[in-house]
Structure 1
């Protein structure tokens, strides 16, 4: 988003966050509603343009939003959309994207209020790793030629018994939005959002073999000290790493694998 849209989104996020602190138990419902609103906006370019048109009076835009959304959604969700369209937007798509982000925040707020946000974050990360490893599953869930009902049913079979309601809601949302954004992009965004609420960074660690709990805790302490804030560590296994670990955290990559050191030696010899 450009600056003007980002400012409008941040104002809406503050207002919505205050409501979620009071009604976090309804976070899942609010999330589903927000996703449905975003779908309506993306499905109708004319509606999105009208709601973002700064040449129209804010009151006119608010009235249109009320006419479209109030009969179909809760009072809270309708008021959210009305507040959004009263503000200024650099691009019509930014309203739908903002509602989408607030839907994710709603689901995570529900998890946080139950004291399970860390658990939800872990479940989303494991879902992301499974999809990275299971190519056929990833392709099927991303294929918009396959009906959403069938893809939803497949996602339920894979995850429903293994993750909580917030994680399943977000996994299903990622499936509904695929192939653009990709499943990986959506799930990464959800994991990052969960970490941000907990004021944590996320470190994706690739190792040739599983780390012990003691090793994970030591790595977490080292990274937390280096970055000056709590770091959540998620470990994936890749035999190709040979030995050592590779760490992705933010824009940083720390590669201490034997495979990389071997490659470095080969490159030096070739040169």
Structure 2
């Protein structure tokens, strides 16, 4: 959890620069990618983080370090964001990398806005999350730091297969396994889903069933969860024949699994416990 100084620094910086990032149009893709690269560089160099967050060091010196880090080819807005961040006070040196990553995700969100794919990205992230729920071995390997990032990306795409995901979804899914950041893979995907939901002003409700939901079922679920969450919701319907029947419903980190396969698994555990 970030300390008070970091929360203030992050909020003030984002309030100041979000409008520029929002209006960057097609460049938001490049900006987001460059910020992800900087995030990784910071995560792997504690001395660099200390140099950029040292309150006793003149801001001009820290900006000079940033220029050396990102070079002259970086997008001007990336330089502006980094210069702003190093001028702030941080509770912990690692919090600056968190702020850079947040800006990177924002860049991807604004690019999705620019390409009219924001809702699609949110749905695809929810589909990826849902697919991984029943694949504990796969998702563990996706955040296994002893495995190379190249191997993790290869595993990711073996899972995605021929899914026609947007390039924003693919990039965010790659980022989650390239830049592990001491997080579980599923935790990062859920964080991204939550950020997109807040960005759109609604909650994502992922409903997994063996057969497609009817229009009436979707409308009923919207009514139930709109009342429950007290704001608009979007129903992401995922069809997975292996659940056999019933529904698995996920809202944020909360999962209610009433599928037939879940009930059978529970029965199996109960029988083993009483045997």
**TM-score (ref. length: structure 1):** 0.83
Q: Deviations over 1:105-164 (max 9, x none)?
A: 111111122211111111111111222223443243333333222322333344374201
- Taking the aligned partners of 2:186 and 2:60, their CA distance within structure 1 comes to 39
- Taking the aligned partners of 2:101 and 2:161, their CA distance within structure 1 comes to 23
Over 3 Å counting, the alpha-carbon distance change for 1:56 and 1:26 in structure 2 is same
Counterpart position of 2:273: none
Counterpart position of 1:220: 222
**TM-score (ref. length: structure 2):** 0.82
- Taking the aligned partners of 1:163 and 1:91, their CA distance within structure 2 comes to 36
Shift of 1:82: 1.0
Residue aligned with 1:234, SS: strand
Give the number of aligned pairs.
263
After TM superposition, the structure 1 stretch with the greater mean CA deviation from structure 2, 90-99 or 219-228, is 219-228
Over 3 Å counting, the alpha-carbon distance change for 1:173 and 1:94 in structure 2 is same
Shift of 1:254: 6.8
Over 3 Å counting, the alpha-carbon distance change for 1:185 and 1:149 in structure 2 is same
1:167 equivalent to 2:169? Answer: yes
After TM superposition, the structure 1 stretch with the greater mean CA deviation from structure 2, 109-118 or 241-250, is 241-250
Counterpart position of 2:132: 131
Q: Deviations over 1:35-82 (max 9, x none)?
A: 110111111111101211112222332232223223462222122111
1:84 equivalent to 2:80? Answer: no
Residue aligned with 1:126, SS: helix
Structure 2 runs not aligned, ≥5 long: 271-275
Shift of 1:85: 0.5
Q: Deviations over 1:167-203 (max 9, x none)?
A: 0000001111338311101110111111111001233
Residue aligned with 2:23, SS: helix
Residue aligned with 2:165, SS: coil
- Taking the aligned partners of 2:191 and 2:82, their CA distance within structure 1 comes to 22
- Taking the aligned partners of 1:133 and 1:65, their CA distance within structure 2 comes to 43
Over 3 Å counting, the alpha-carbon distance change for 1:257 and 1:151 in structure 2 is closer
- Taking the aligned partners of 1:76 and 1:17, their CA distance within structure 2 comes to 11
Shift of 1:242: 8.9
Superposition map of 1:86-101 within 5 A: 86-101=87-102
- Taking the aligned partners of 1:212 and 1:193, their CA distance within structure 2 comes to 28
Residue aligned with 1:59, SS: helix
Over 3 Å counting, the alpha-carbon distance change for 1:256 and 1:151 in structure 2 is closer
Residue aligned with 1:24, SS: coil
Counterpart position of 1:145: 146
Structure 1 runs not aligned, ≥5 long: 267-271
What RMSD in Å do the two structures reach over aligned CA positions? 3.1
Counterpart position of 2:63: 62
